[in-house]
């Protein structure tokens, strides 16, 4: 199984290491043709406005939408969750992939000094998950088909729509691989 990690900018190496730990082969994606040989795509954290521009430069935005149409799984973390949202509050001009029916608000929990760590309860996980939120987006609104898997102070922070997963925190920054495992087992292998 090949997992593609979008590598235009951001914390792609941490996702790569996490999936390699779990025995997957990981391919770094910088150009559209590189999507051909992967079974699932991860869009990592980073700077969402930078990533949006770099995806547009060489047509990755269009190619990722075609990738979604082929029913393969996609997971966005933090900036990646912004990239896959259908609406970005206050930034209607920011390019986005619109893969999931949700509205996000960038840097909604505050600037860097407000970035935080907290334990979350995640649906179907037996134990809590230590989550790191960095200048995180807030999910303001979700469509009817979007399922909430975890919340923080009543905000959804991990959501699923068909084969598209979004987390506004950073599972790749800890050694806990359960969400990476969940992604492989529930969304990639079930294809």
Partner 1 sequence: MSETIIGSTKVKTGFAEMFKGGVIMDVVNPEQARIAEDAGATAVMALERVPADIRREGGVSRMSNPEMVEGIIDAVSIPVMAKVRIGHYVEAQIIESLGVDFVDESEVLTPADEAYHIYKHDFKVPFVCGATNIGEALRRIAEGAAMIRTKGEAGTGNVVEAVRHARSVLGSIKSIASMPKEELMTFAKDHGAPYDLVLYVHEHAKLPVVNFAAGGVATPADAALMMQLGLDGVFVGSGIFKSGDPAKRAQAIVKAVTHFDNPDILADVSRNLGEAMVGINIDTLPEEELLAKRGW
DSSP, residue by residue, 142-179: E-TTPEEEEEETTEEEEEEETTEEEESS-GGGSS--HH
> Is residue 97 involved in binding partner 1 (CB under 8 A)?
no
| Residue closer to partner 1, measured from CB, 6 or 188 | 6
Confirm whether 172 is a catalytic residue.
yes
Confirm whether 15 is a catalytic residue.
no
| Residue closer to partner 1, measured from CB, 57 or 191 | 57
> Is residue 154 involved in binding partner 1 (CB under 8 A)?
no
In this structure, are residues 40 and 5 in contact, taking their beta carbons and an 8 Å threshold? no
| Parallel, antiparallel or unpaired: strands 147-152 and 155-161 | antiparallel
Confirm whether 14 is a catalytic residue.
no
| Residue closer to partner 1, measured from CB, 14 or 61 | 14
CA distance 54 to 12: 14
Annotate each residue in 23-42 with x if it binds partner 1 (CB under 8 A) or - if it does not, as one string. Answer: -------x------------
CA distance 55 to 123: 32
CB of 69 to partner 1, least distance (A): 25
> Is residue 80 involved in binding partner 1 (CB under 8 A)?
no
Among all residues, which ones are annotated catalytic?
78, 170, 172
């Amino acid at each position: 199984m090949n997992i593609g990690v979008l590598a235009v900018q951001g914390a792609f190496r941490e996702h790569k290491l996490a999936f390699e730990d779990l025995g997957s082969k990981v391919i770094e994606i910088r150009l559209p043709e590189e999507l051909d040989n992967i079974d699932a795509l991860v869009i990592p954290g980073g700077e969402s406005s930078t990533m949006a521009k770099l995806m547009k430069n060489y047509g990755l935005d269009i190619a990722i939408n075609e990738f979604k149409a082929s029913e393969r799984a996609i997971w966005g973390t933090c900036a990646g969750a912004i990239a896959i949202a259908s609406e970005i509050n206050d930034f209607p001009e920011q390019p986005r992939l619109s893969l999931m029916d949700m509205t996000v608000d960038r840097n909604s929990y505050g600037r860097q000094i407000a970035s935080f760590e907290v334990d979350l309860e995640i649906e179907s996980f037996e134990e809590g998950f230590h989550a790191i939120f960095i200048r995180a987006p807030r999910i303001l609104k979700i469509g009817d088909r979007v399922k909430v898997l975890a919340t923080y102070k009543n905000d959804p922070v991990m959501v699923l729509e068909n084969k598209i997963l979004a987390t506004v925190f950073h599972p790749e920054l800890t050694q806990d691989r359960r969400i990476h495992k969940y992604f492989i087992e529930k969304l990639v292998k079930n294809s």
